[in-house]
Amino acid sequence: MLIPGPTFQADGNINNFIAVMVSPSNDNRVLQVSATNQFPIGVSQQGMNQAPGSFGATSTLAATQGQSIQVYCAPNVAQMIVGAAVTRGNPLTINTSGQAVPLVAGSPSTQYIIGIALMSQATVGATTRVLIMPQQIWF
């Protein structure tokens, strides 16, 4: 059962199926995650910012600056675009495009997890289902 997530305003262009973070500049606004050191709070809505064919509509944007946007937060399941092959059951982090990628062991550092992959997906740029559960870990 989908638990309705909060509605925010976009603080810039936000693509569909992408991790979002709280805007550091404005209250109740979100930005698309653009760096691996940004804490994701959820995933952008799965739909266009305006009706197809209407003025300013685009098929890749969930919202543009100032528009309302639905954010899928914990404990929901959301579709996310993957930036690398992912395997079901593995924790996912975010790349610089806001896409889900597998958590990779490396030198100790702070990592930001968006959730757990519920489906395997080998095709970069395709979507997979993710159990949203943002957290910060030292890895």
For 47, the enclosing helix (H) or strand (E) is none
Could you tell me which residues come within 8 angstroms of residue 1 by beta carbon, excluding any fewer than 6 positions away? none
Retrieve residue 110's tokens: 């702070």
DSSP tag of 83: S
Sorted by sequence, the CB contacts under 8 Å of residue 79 that are 6+ apart come out as: 17, 43, 46, 127, 128, 129, 130
DSSP 82: B
Query: Global pTM?
Result: 0.88
Residue 20 pLDDT greater than 90, yes or no:
yes
Using the structure block, give the residue that is written with the tokens 């997890």. Answer: 113
**What's the confidence (pLDDT) of residue 105?**
76
- 96: pLDDT confidence band, cut at 50, 70 and 90? very high
